[in-house]
Amino acid sequence: MPEENEEARISSVKSLFRKLNPFNTAMIALAVVLIAGVGVLTYFFFDMRKEFNDVSDDLVQAKALISSNQESIGRLHEEIDRKDREIISLNDTISELNSCLDSLDDDISSLDSALSHESTKLSSIEELLDDTGNRIAGSYSELSQRLSEVSTSVNGATTAYTNAYLKACDSIVRITNQDHDYRLLGGSGVIATADGYIFTCYHVVKGYRHIDIYLQDGREYTAKMVDGDEDLDIAVLKINEPVENLPIASFCSLDDILPGDLAVALGYPAVNFLKGPLTVTAGIVSAVREYDGCTWVQFDTTMNPGNSGGAIINQNGEVMGMGSFELVGYSGQYSNLCFAVPADTGWEYLNKYLETQS
C-alpha cells in the first residue's frame, strides 16, 4: 500500500509539470534557485555571524591582553628608570670612590715622604741616644757619688732635727687655761728656770682663772702669771707648788740668730682635744724683723692653734723664741709666714719681775 501511494504522488507531480508552460517552469525553477540561494546565504550569514562573534571575543581577549601587556610594559619602564637612576647613583659613588682613592694615593705618597723623613730623624735620634748613653755611662760614677752626698746630707738633716728635738723636748710643757667664763683654752710653754718659771704667749693665758701645767714625764702643777705684755704677746708664769729636778731649756740670743738657721717648732697643737705627745714641725728662720712696733723671729715652720707659746729651736736645740702667730692675710694669700716672741723678751720680763721681788 505505501508503495502504491508513493507512485500515485509521483504520477500526480509529473502530471502537474506537464500541465505547466515553459515560462512557469522557468519561474518555478528560478524560485527554487532563489529559495536555495537564500538558504545558502542564510547558512553562510549565520556561520559568518558565529565566526564574527568568535573574532569579537578574540579581539576582546586580545585587547585585555594588550592592556595587561601595556601595564607590564609601564612597570617595566618604571623599573628601567629606577635602575637607570641607581646606575647613575652608582656611577656617582664610583666617581667619589675614585676621587677618594686618588686622595688616598696622595696621602700614601705624603705618608711615605713623612716616614722617610721620620726615619732620617730616627736615625739621628738613635745616634743621639747612643751618644747620650755613652755620656751617661761615663758620668755614672760621678752621679753615684753625688747621690751618696745627697743621701748623706738628707740623713744629716734628719739627724739634726732629731738631735735638736731630743735636747729640748723635756722642757716643753702643755698649758690649759680656764678663763673667767669657764672656757677651757690652752697652748704650750717653755721651762726657763729650775724653780718653776715658764715662758709662754700672753694670749695663751689671757683672762685666766685657773692654769694647769703638764710636763713630759707626767707631772702636773698649777701656775699663775707673774708678768707679761699683751702687745709683745709675752707672759711669764710661775708654778705654784714646790718643784725639783725640772728639765730646763737652753736659750740663744737674737744676736745669734741668722736667716737660714734650722727652725723646729715644738708644741701641742689642738691642745684641748688632740691628746697625745709633743709634736714637731720643721722649717728655717726667714728673718729677724720689726713688725707692728715689736721685734720678732720670722720663720716658715707650720703653726697651728695650741703651738702658741711652744719653743722654736735651732739645730743645737736652743730656744730662739716662743711661737706666737701666723700671718694669713684677709683672704689667706700668705703661707707659712709665722712669728715668734724672741727668748730675749721673755728673759727681759722675768729679770724685771725678779728685781721687784728682791
Interval 256-306: pLDDT, tens: 999 999 999 999 987 666 677 899 999 999 999 998 889 999 999 888 888
| Domain assignment present for 82 | no
Residue type, position 43, single letter? Y
Can you tell me the distance from the alpha carbon of 251 to that of 215, in angstroms, rounded to the nearest whole number? 19
| Closest among 178, 183, 256, 243 to 217, alpha carbons compared | 243
| Domain assignment present for 70 | no
Residue type, position 95, single letter? S
| Domain assignment present for 243 | yes
| Closest among 204, 200, 318 to 263, alpha carbons compared | 318
Q: With contact defined as beta carbons under 8 Å apart, do 194 and 169 qualify? A: no
pLDDT in tens, 169-216: 999 999 988 766 666 778 999 999 999 999 999 999 988 888 999 999
Q: Calculate what percentage of the chain has a pLDDT beyond 70.
A: 82
* Residue position matching grid coordinates 579581539: 59
Helix (H) or strand (E) holding 210: strand 208-214
Residue type, position 323, single letter? G
Strand partners, 174: 188, 214
| Backbone φ and ψ of 141, nearest 5° | -65, -40
* Residue position matching grid coordinates 721620620: 118
Q: With contact defined as beta carbons under 8 Å apart, do 161 and 150 qualify? A: no
Domain boundaries, position 320? 166-357
| Domain assignment present for 160 | no
| Domain assignment present for 265 | yes
Total domains in the chain come to 1
The larger pLDDT score, comparing residue 328 to residue 282, is at 282
Q: Phi-psi bin for 309: left (phi > 0), alpha (psi -120 to 50), beta?
A: left
| Domain assignment present for 72 | no
pLDDT of residue 19: 60
| Domain assignment present for 113 | no
| Domain assignment present for 22 | no
Can you tell me the distance from the alpha carbon of 205 to that of 236, in angstroms, rounded to the nearest whole number? 10
Can you tell me the distance from the alpha carbon of 277 to that of 219, in angstroms, rounded to the nearest whole number? 14
> What confidence tier does 62 reach under pLDDT thresholds 50, 70, 90?
confident
Provide the CATH number for the domain around residue 191: 2.40.10.120
Can you tell me the distance from the alpha carbon of 25 to that of 64, in angstroms, rounded to the nearest whole number? 57
pLDDT of residue 15: 67
83 has pLDDT over 80: yes
Strand partners, 236: 199, 227
Q: Kindly state the DSSP code that residue 237 receives in the 8-state scheme.
A: E
Active site residues: 203, 233, 308
